[in-house]
Structures are given as structure tokens and as C-alpha cells.
Structure 1
Amino acid sequence: MNIIISGLGIIGGSFAKALAKYTDHHIIGINRSEKPLQDALACGAIHEIGTRESIKTADMIILGTFPEAAVKFVRDNADIIQKSCIVTDTSGIKGQICPELVQLSKEYGFKFIGGHPMAGKETNGFASSDADLFQNASYIIVPCGADEKDISFISTLMKKIGFGIIKVATPEEHDRMIAYTSQLPHVIACAYVLNESCANHKGFSAGSYRDVSRVARINVPLWTELFSENKNSLVSELDEFIENMTSIRNAVAEGNNDAVAELLSRARDVKERTDG
């Protein structure tokens, strides 16, 4: 089948490389700038550089761009997408984009299924993409009313390129949980390195600093958009986090060791119950 990947950054590029490595599908790349396309063609991640004419032949389209750009790509090309084509995104938010993409799919007859690969790195661009980025990672399917056979097709394809866990969620559940598991940690990392002590950490830091600060090397335009488009869920998680931080801060400030120990014990118990 012909699979078009729109956007050859780290995620779109990794999809191209994984599909080329683990399947026999014909991979067509579309990208705003030329260099990632040439690099992808040279390394075998794509078999063809796509044009608007290529879209007419697509059996599947994977949107590897920022959320708003993904919607724009579909809006601009909806009239030439085959009715049998499955369109799926890779965006970290769903509530803001799924309604319009579902509406476009109904209006023009193609199929839309939301998707979110739970994988990435702190670096960006095609040069950071990896055919094995998705090995044993989780893939979230947001069906948006799609047929079971199309959902099954997506699930099977994602397992073929390495995903170990397939999770199905509504847009609302997806955005609520991603606010906690992905967006909140990025906020924490950024806030952490904004402390003045960060400038002098070398020689005083080890694994704890590295683990907490890793994702502060952030793609600013992307995460600004993600935070903005999921602001209600993210602010709710931030409020609860600040409340928990304040409880620990006040117990430390008051010299209340029993309260500190009780809060730390509760946290350890939650972690052990949740993750073993």
C-alpha cells in the first residue's frame, strides 16, 4: 500500500524509517523543507518524494506535523484524498483537532483515526529519527467513531513496527492523561532548571538532576502549542501538583519531620503500587 508521511521530523521520520525497515509498504514523504526529504530518500526511509498528485494515490496518510499544521494539511487536501484512505495523526492533543478532522472525514468520505505514539527524544528533526524509536513503546488509538476493522488495521501495523502496548481512548481521556504523563513532566523540568542553582550544578549533580531536567531541552514552538491547546487539563494537573509541593514545602519549613515522613511514605507507596 502507499503510505504518505507528512512531516519528516523525529516522529514522522521515525515512522518512515520503521515502515521501510519492518514492512513492504511504499513510503512517500512530504515535508515543508527539502533537506529532510533528500536525506530520507538517500537513507531509504522513503521511496518517493510526494506531491499533491501523490496524495490521490495514498491508502494511508500519517500526519507527523504539529497539531494545527496537521489539520491544515488535511483541510487543504481533503478533496483529493481517496474515500478508502485512512488518515491518522501523531499529535499530543486530541480535543482540539479531532472534531475538525472527523468533520472533514465525514464531508469528504475518507477515514480518520486519531493516533499518538508515546515515544520521542529530547532532540528534534529528521537527523534524530530512528527506525527503532517505537520498540516496546505505547501507541494510543483514538477511534473517533471509526470502524473496528480500520482500528484493527492500525493496531496491527503499529505492532509490526515495534509498539508493545496499544491503548484505546476517547479524546477527553487522552488529553486528561497526557496532561499528567507528558505535559506536566515537561513543565516540571522547565521550572526546575529555571532555579538559579542550575547554572552551578556541574560537579554537584548526578542521576537525579539528569532525570528531572532531561526534557527541559524542549521544542519551544511545539510544546507552547500543546500546552495552549490542552490548557484546562494541564492547569488542573498543575494545581494538584502545586498543592502537593506546597504540603511538602510547608512541612519542611515548619520542621515537622513526622509530616515530611508521612508525605514521603505516601509517595513511595503510590509509586510501588503503581509501577512495582
Structure 2
Amino acid sequence: MAQPTGHTRPAGTKGEGAQPTYVAGRVGIVGLGLMGGSFAKALASAGREVYGWNRTHSVTEMAMIETIKGELTDDIIPTCELIILAGYPQVSIDWLSEMAPLVSPGAIVIDTVGVKRVICEKCGKIAEGYPWTFVGCHPMAGTQYSGFAHARANMFHNAPLVVVPPDMDDDIERVELLERLKSLLAPCGFGSFTLTTAENHDRMIAYTSQLAHVVSNAYVKSPTAQEHKGFSAGSYKDLTRVARLNAPMWTELFLDNADNLSAELGALIKNLAAYKEAIDTRDAGRLEELLAEGDRLKREAEGR
């Protein structure tokens, strides 16, 4: 079975001449939650053979009824051209560490984790001893819900996929790898592929995603939130959508990116303090200045 067991398998090598054992286009997915399930549904709907594994076996069984061809077992792993790690950060790292010897030469392993430094460092190090390639990935899509039941085949349509390519000496080989990855993921319908470093990804994602989740989650802790019915419209819904979250998963993500997230929180707290001071002192000029500045910066950030 594909669950890490703790025993040791023979180490692989990067030696040339290793022959692929995968079936072209076959995909293995580790973790069948919202992300993994959506990959499974998108790829299976395009006719790809998809195999999956989930810590809760009942989820795998449910996916086998309507989406995947079968369970991602030890004998199936070597037949997959693409393996997608769609679990929590540490679960993904542990699975790859245990199953690395089974991955086919020439296969591509990607992840969907929302932080990249820890994943790319650890999974990249695991991949060094084997004739397959790890590529860090982060689909910029999702909902406030979790689990296979909420996965959908069109989750990634027109969404960006952030890609952290591995260090490669040969630029042509690197381009070929990325083009092959695009082809393998074509049924998902990603709108763009953004190449970056793990460091830059984590810096940016602290602002565009993680900060928004913290703010939304903190915002609903006002006692007034329990009385909002009949008084709320779009603004409330927009700001609170991601207050609902998977607490264990986001705790791991926040702590894996603590330095960047803390810096963004510090900047936000400083800015909020300026608004509060202007309101407390009834300083209309200062408040209007702050509001106009925010409006201007929003327009500049969006190019209009």
C-alpha cells in the first residue's frame, strides 16, 4: 500500500540509462481533498488514468466509485508519469521520502502545498538521489470548503499555477521539462504558469493569501458578528469568505512561513493604527488622506 510504513527501501541513483517504467499520461495523486480531488476530476474527465491515495481510506473508496481508476498502491506508483502531492506539507514530505525508490525514472513529481521553501528544500533533497524530477507547484485556486465532496473538475480553469522549477544546468532540458508538465496538466485548464523562486513565492503568498485568511478569521471574532443578519451585504461576505478554514492545515502553513506572515501582519497593524488614531481624534483631513491613499494604491496595483 502507498501509506508510509517506516521501513527502508533500496536507494535509487541519478545514473544515466535508467529506463522509464511509467505508462504515458498516467497520474498518481497523494491526498484526495479539495485540491487533490479537483486534480483527479479534471484529469479523469479528460480520459487520463488516475490513481489516488488518501489517509482516510473511505475517501479513496468514494473517489474510486466516481472518479479514479484505483488506489495508488506500491505496484502502481512506478507506472505513473506524474505524481501529485496534494496533502499537508509534512504528509507530502513523508510520503515522498518513503516512496521515492518506487517512482519511475523520468517521472515528474509536483506538489500543491501553499508554501514552497520547506517543500522545495526537503522534496528537492529527496529527489537528488533518483532519476525523476521534483517541481514545486501551487495552484492559485480554491474555496473556503475542504474535502473530496467539494472538489470539482473546473476548479483550476483560468487560474494561475505558480511553478518553482528545480535547478538545472541545461536550459533546454529545463524548458522541455516545463513544457512536458504543461502538457500533462493541460486538462486542468490553468490560465497561466508563473515561474518564481521558493523564497519569492513565500514572500508574495504571505500577502495575497495567508494575511487575508488571518484577517478574515480575526474579523469574525467581533461580538457584533453574531448579530449581523439583516445588516450585511457584499462587503461582509467578501471579507469573511475565508474565515472558514481548515485550522490544522493553515496552522502548518502559517508556521512554515512565519517570518513573511509576521512581517505582513506588522505592516497591517501599523496601518490600522493610523486609521484608528485619525478616527479617535476626529481628524477628518487625516482620515480622508488615508482613505484616498488606499484607493490610489489599489488602482495602481491593478493597473487602473
SS, match of residue 161 in structure 2: strand
- Residue type of the partner of 1:6? V
In the other structure, the counterpart of 1:267 is: 294
TM-superposed CA distance for 1:121, in Å, is: 0.8
One of 31, 37, 45 as aligned partner of 1:13: 37
In the other structure, the counterpart of 2:198 is: 171
- Residue type of the partner of 1:16? A
Residues 26-45 of structure 1 mapped to structure 2, 5 A cutoff: 26-43=49-66, 45=67
SS, match of residue 97 in structure 1: helix
Deviations 1:244-273 (A, max 9, x none): 111111111111111111111111111112
One of 271, 276, 294 as aligned partner of 1:249: 276
In the other structure, the counterpart of 1:120 is: 142
Contact 2:119/2:136 (<8 A) preserved = no
In the other structure, the counterpart of 1:234 is: 261
CA distance in 1, matches of 2:181, 2:301: 28
In the other structure, the counterpart of 1:3 is: 27
Deviations 1:138-157 (A, max 9, x none): 11011022522111222344
SS, match of residue 51 in structure 2: strand
- Residue type of the partner of 2:217? C
Identify which range, 151-160 or 115-124, moves more after superposition: 151-160
Contact 2:159/2:192 (<8 A) preserved = yes
Name stretches of at least 5 consecutive residues in structure 1 with no aligned partner: none
- Residue type of the partner of 1:141? V
TM-superposed CA distance for 1:74, in Å, is: 0.3
Q: Normalising by the residue count of structure 2, what TM-score does the alignment of the two structures yield? A: 0.87
CA distance in 2, matches of 1:272, 1:225: 33
In the other structure, the counterpart of 2:3 is: none
Deviations 1:128-187 (A, max 9, x none): 000001111111011022522111222344344211121111000000000000000000
Task: Detail structure 1 runs of 4+ shifted over 6 Å in the superposition.
Answer: none
Q: Percent identity?
A: 38
One of 64, 70, 87 as aligned partner of 1:48: 70
- Residue type of the partner of 1:95? R
Q: Normalising by the residue count of structure 1, what TM-score does the alignment of the two structures yield? A: 0.96
Residues 69-218 of structure 1 mapped to structure 2, 5 A cutoff: 69-145=91-167, 147-218=174-245
Number of paired residues?
A: 274
Name stretches of at least 5 consecutive residues in structure 2 with no aligned partner: 1-24, 169-173
CA distance in 2, matches of 1:206, 1:150: 47
Contact 1:16/1:46 (<8 A) preserved = yes
Indicate the structure with greater helix content: 1
Deviations 1:55-79 (A, max 9, x none): 1212110001011100000001111
- The RMSD of aligned alpha carbons is 1.2
Asked which structure has the greater CA Rg, the reply is 2
CA distance in 2, matches of 1:126, 1:217: 17
CA distance in 2, matches of 1:167, 1:119: 14
SS, match of residue 118 in structure 2: coil
Contact 1:144/1:170 (<8 A) preserved = no
One of 90, 99, 107 as aligned partner of 1:68: 90
TM-superposed CA distance for 1:217, in Å, is: 0.7
CA distance in 1, matches of 2:245, 2:101: 36
TM-superposed CA distance for 1:114, in Å, is: 0.4
